[in-house]
Amino acid sequence: MAGRTVLIAGGAGGMGFATGLRLAADGERIALADLPGSKLNDAVARIAATGAKAIGLPLDIRSVAACREAVDKAREWGGSLDILVNAAGVWLEGAASEVREEQWDLVLDVNLKGAFFLISAAIPHLSAAQGVVINIASDAGIVGNNGAAVYCASKGGLVLLTKALALELAPHGVRVNAVCPGDAATPMIEYQARTYGGDDPDGYKRRLLGHYPQAEKGTVHHRGRDRLLHPLPLPARCGADNRGRAFDRFRHQCRILNCGVGFIAWRVHDRVPQIP
């Protein structure tokens, strides 16, 4: 199944870039879509240096027109569009009573609206390829976080969007899945600590780690990252039961993979690279 075209929104850093590196190792063609600039250029260069085919596509995911353009360019460049990864995301925390309209709009536009319109534009291409959608949601979209209502609403919406689209697109052979990570060593965590940690950003990160039983000094490593983010090669073969719900005769059509406490390991003795 190598040689597929992968479009990764939010591909210049964090989990998006890590996913691109992982799939590039399998021989996939990687289209990284993100805000234009040196960060995107560097990410493309790093993947290309592995010998993989890679391209950078400028994308302001808040724009529906830009989402459609990114999908079309990825399809034109790769000759097909087989995998769409929605990894773009922004964080906001604070009291709900103090949230401004523009903050709400930013978080929902990036984390939910953009993901929807990328999928919407990609449906014809993914249907032709019997492809895959992977949405990077969050454990906060399942259980909620105190003081992060807007972020949780956006990721909870992405989880339910995944379920709804899995049912809708199953008859077309397109699988739609979500991964719901807990906290990992990404640039987003560093941003959170700098922005909301006050005079003690390290203390902020220690408080985050207190949510996990394995919390000790070391490097966060997502033990299941390669397995969970790797799109399964079989196309969906779906029917419908007497309640009208789609199901997959061979494997579940929609997987909401909660990578919270159960899938975050706090490694002390092993040297584990952080997600760039």
- Can you tell me the distance from the alpha carbon of 92 to that of 86, in angstroms, rounded to the nearest whole number? 18
Residue pair 152/268 in contact (Cβ under 8 Å)? The answer is no
Q: What are the residue numbers of the active site?
A: 151
What single-letter amino acid sits at 252? H
Separation of alpha carbons 138 and 205, rounded Å:
17
How many helices, marked H, and strands, marked E, lie in the chain? 9, 11
User: Residue 243: which residues within 8 A CB-CB, separation 6 or more?
Assistant: none
SS3 177: strand
Region class of 172: left (phi > 0), else alpha (psi between -120 and 50), else beta: alpha
Report the distance separating Cα 59 and Cα 86, nearest Å: 12
DSSP state of 141: G
Alpha helical stretches, state H, 170-247: 187-196, 201-209, 225-229
Mention every residue, 6+ apart, whose C-beta is less than 8 A from residue 247: 238, 239, 240, 241, 253
Rounded CA-CA distance 159/171 in Å is: 20
Here the tokens at position 139 are 């454990």
Longest dimension (CA), the chain: 58
